[in-house]
Structure 1
C-alpha cells in the first residue's frame, strides 16, 4: 500500500527538469543584460575598429560643408521654396562645390570666388586610358604612348561615381580659427567596398558601430588639395600627362597611383583608371560666350569644369520643369542636385535667368559686407547626366533627358538639346590693375541678387 503513494520516476524527472530550466533561464538572462548594459556604451564610445584617415585629420583640421540636417536644400522641392514675392529680390539659397568632377558635392554656407569659379571646385577628374583596342589596367608607359589617350569620365558613362563621397579638410590655425588657404588641406575620398567572406561581414559591422545602422563598409584614400611640389611629385610617383576634356586636351598631374584598384572594379571601368589634378599653370581659357579680357580686365579660365567657371540654377525653373516631367516608381521628383550647379537661387520667376546678362549679389541677410558680380554667359545645355539619381547612383532609363529635349528645346544655338540653368563668369572691379591670381570676391547664403542687365542668349558650341 505504501508503494501506491510513491511518485513515479517519470514525474520526478519532469519536475526536476522544469525546475532546472526555470533556474537556468533566470540565471543566464540577468547577467547577460547586466553585461550588455555595461559593454554597449563602451563599444559605442570606443568602437573596436581602426581609426580612419578622416579620424586623424579631425585632430588638426576642420571638415568643410553642411550635414544633411543643416542643408539649405532640405525642402527645395516644395512650392514655398521657390515662391516669388512681388517687389522682392531673389536670394542665394545654396552653394555647392565639387572638388572631384562627377563625384559627390559639398554644400557650403560661404565660398571664396576665384577667376576659375568657386574655391576648391573641380580640382580633380577621373579619366580612363582609351585606345582603338582594349587597354589593360596594368598598361605600361610604352603602351600608353602607342596611340592611347587619357579621356575624362563622368556619371554619363559610370553612374556609380555619384556614390563616391568627397570630404574636404582645411587646417585649423593655432588660435582655433579656420585657415583660408589650400596649403595643408586634404580631400578624403570614400566609396562603398567590402571584402569577401567573414572579413567583409566584420567590416560592415564595424561601419554600423561607428556611423549608424544604415552605414556600409567603405574604402578611403587621401588626396592633397594644394598642387604638389616637385619633390612631392617625384616621391609619390605622380606623372604629368595629357588628358582630354571634351574637345580640349590639357596637361595635368596624374595621381592615379594613390587610387585603390578596388575603385576601378566598383565603378565598372575596364580600362586603366587615372585621377588627374589640374595644373594651375595649365588652366583652360574660356571664350565662346564668355566676355573678353578687353571687356572685364582678364580672360576667364577653368579647371575641370565642363566649359565655364560657374553654373547657376533657379529653383523656380526647376520646379516648373519638374511639374511637367512624367513620374514613375524610380522617379518621384527631380532633386536639384542632379544638375550639379554651384549657385542655387530662389525667388526669381521660372526661366527668368535666361534673360540675365549680368547680375550682382549684395549682402542681404548674410554676414558679408561686399558685393559679388557675374556675367551670365549662356544657357546650360544638358546631357544625360541628370538621369542619374545623386542619392543612389542609379540611372533612370529616359528621364529627365527626354523631357529636357522635348520641353526645353529653347536655344537656337543648341537645337534639339534641352537647356536648364545658366553658365557664368565672375567679374572683379579691380581686374585691370591686379594679377589674375589675386582676384577674389565672396558669396554667402542669404545674399540678395539683382539683375544688372538683360538680353538674348544664343549658345555657341565648342
Structure 2
C-alpha cells in the first residue's frame, strides 16, 4: 500500500515547494511599511474592543454592592466529575468502603430567583422555609385586564434559563462594610444579568470584546434582597397580590428596578404613537408572537413526583418539544400517588429544625426505607 501512495506524496511535496517559492518571492516585494500597516489593521480592532470591554467590566465591579460578599464557589463546580462511573452505581465500588465514607453531600445549590440560573454553594443555612436565600424572588407576569400578577417559569419563558443570578450578602469582613450602608440594611442584593447586545457599532464592539474572553455581552440590574420600610417608601415599591400555583400572596413589586429600553427598528415612531415604545426585561420587543434521562440510575429508587418537565436546555435556553420529559415518564413513573403520567426524580425533604447548617462533604445517612406514595394538593 505504501508503494502505491509514495508517488503521490512526492508529487504533492514537489508542488508544495514550488508554491512556497512563489509565495516567498511575492512577499519579498512587500515593503516593511505595508507589513506594519497590515499587522496594525489586524490587531488594533480586537485590542480596542477588549479595552472597551474591560472598561465596562471595571465599571460594573466598582458598582458592586457595598459591605457585601458574593455567595458561590471559587472553583468551577463540585459537579465537574459528576459523570465519573462511581456515581452511576448508587453504591460503593467495593465492600471495603463504609457508608460514612461513601454517602456524602456532593453539591448544593440555591436559586434566588425562580427559573433563573442557580448559585452553587460549599456551605449553606437551612431555615424553616428551606435553604436561606433560595427562591427569594419570583418573575411575575402582569395580566393587565384584571391587573393580576402571576409567577412565570421556564415553561412559559425558556430563555429564563440564561438569566444569571448573583446573591450578595452582608459581611463585616468586607472593607466597605458599615451597618448603615444601604446594601447592608436591605439584607443583601440580588444582581441579575442576561445576554444583551446593543444595536449598532457599540454592540458589535462589545460582542468582539466579550468573545475574546469567551463570554457574551450582558445587561444587568439589581434588586434589594429585603428592603426596609424606609427603603421601600424611598424607592416607590408597592405591595401587590401575586398568584403562585393555587395560592395568592402579597409580594413586593420591584419592577421599577428593571431598566427600560426604547424600541426602534420595526416599532412605530414617537410621532405615530406620541411616545417611543420601551421594553423592560423582555427580548428586543415588549411583545413576541411566535408559531407554535433521566439524570442517573442512582436516583431511580428514591422517587419524588415532578410536575411536567419544562424540557428547556439550561445552557442555550432552547425548549425541546418532548424531551427529557417523555424519557423520564417512560421508566420513572413509579409513584402510584403521582399517577402513571408523572415521572419521579430525587427525594422531597423538609427541614426538621428551624435553623441548621449544611456543607459539601457532609455525611448522608439513610434512617429508614419503605414505600412511597405522593399525596397531591
State the shift of 1:126 in Å. 0.5
Q: Deviations over 1:325-362 (max 9, x none)?
A: xxxxxxxxxxxxxxxxxxxxxxxx543434xxxxxxxx
- In structure 2, relative to structure 1, the CA distance for the partners of 1:119 and 1:269 (3 Å cut) is farther
Aligned to 1:421: 346
* Alignment partner, residue 13 of structure 2: none
8 Å CA contact 1:53–1:188 kept in 2: the answer is no
The offset of 1:154, in angstroms, is 0.2
Q: Secondary structure at the match of 1:452?
A: coil
Task: Tell me, yes or no, if structure 1 residue 245 matches structure 2 residue 252.
Answer: no
**Cα distance in 2 between the residues matched to 1:206 and 1:21:** 31
Question: Which residue does 1:71 correspond to in 2?
Answer: 77
Of residues 335, 354, 360, the one that matches 1:445 is: 360
Taking a change above 3 Å as real, the CA distance of residues 19 and 116 of structure 1, as seen in their structure-2 partners, is: closer
Cα separation, 2, equivalents of 1:452 and 1:178? 43
Shift in alpha-carbon separation, 1:94–1:239, aligned structure 2, 3 A: same
1:409 aligns with 2:333: yes
**Residue pairs, 1:282-321, within 5 angstroms:** 318-320=295-297
Kindly indicate whether residue 125 of structure 2 is the aligned counterpart of residue 119 of structure 1: no
Q: Distance in 2 between matches of 1:250 and 1:94?
A: 31
TM-score normalized by the length of structure 2: 0.73
What TM-score do you get using the length of structure 1 for normalisation?
0.60
Q: Residue 369 of structure 1 aligns with which residue?
A: none
Which consecutive unaligned segments of at least 5 residues does structure 1 have? 1-17, 136-142, 272-314, 321-348, 355-378, 429-438
Kindly indicate whether residue 307 of structure 2 is the aligned counterpart of residue 382 of structure 1: yes
Deviations 1:246-289 (A, max 9, x none): 11111111111111344532298749xxxxxxxxxxxxxxxxxx
Contact 1:53 1:222 in 2 (8 A): no
Q: Structure 1's 455 and 235: CA in aligned 2 closer, same or farther, altered over 3 A? A: same
Within-5 A mapping of 1:326-345: none
Equivalent of 1:202, from 201, 205, 214?
Answer: 205
User: 8 Å contact 1:191–1:263 — kept in the other structure?
Assistant: no
Query: Residue 450 of structure 1 aligns to a residue in which SS?
Result: coil
Q: Per the alignment, do residues 418 and 202 of structure 1 end up closer, same or farther by CA in structure 2, a change over 3 Å counting? A: same
Q: 2:302 matched to 1:353?
A: yes
Count of matched residue pairs: 314
Say whether 1:396 aligns with 2:320: yes
Query: Which residues of structure 2 form unaligned runs of 5+?
Result: 1-26, 179-183, 261-278
Q: Residue 63 of structure 2 aligns to a residue in which SS?
A: helix
Closer/same/farther in 2, CA of residues 267 and 395 from structure 1, 3 Å limit: farther
Q: How far is the alpha carbon of 1:103 from its aligned partner?
A: 0.2
Q: How big is the shift at 1:183? A: 4.8
Distance 2:346 2:162 in 1: 24
Aligned to 1:99: 112
Q: Confirm whether residue 57 of structure 1 aligns to residue 64 of structure 2.
A: yes
> CA RMSD of the aligned region, Å?
3.5
Q: Determine whether 1:88 maps to 2:99.
A: yes
For residues 296-351 of structure 1, what are the alpha-carbon distances to aligned partners after superposition, in whole Å with 9 as ceiling and x for unaligned? Answer: xxxxxxxxxxxxxxxxxxx9x8312xxxxxxxxxxxxxxxxxxxxxxxxxxxx543
Instruction: Report the CA distance between 1:52 and its aligned residue.
Output: 4.0
1:258 aligned partner: 257
In 1, distance between residues paired with 2:28 and 2:116? 63
Q: Is the 8 Å Cα contact of residues 382 and 420 (structure 1) preserved in structure 2?
A: no
Q: Could you tell me whether the CA contact under 8 Å between 1:79 and 1:319 is conserved in 2?
A: no
* Structure 2 Cα separation of the partners of residues 177 and 449 of structure 1: 38
C-alpha distance in 1 between matches for 2:285 and 2:347: 32
Cα–Cα, structure 1 residues 172 and 266, in superposed 2: closer, same or farther, change >3 Å?
same
Deviation at 1:73, TM superposition (A): 0.7
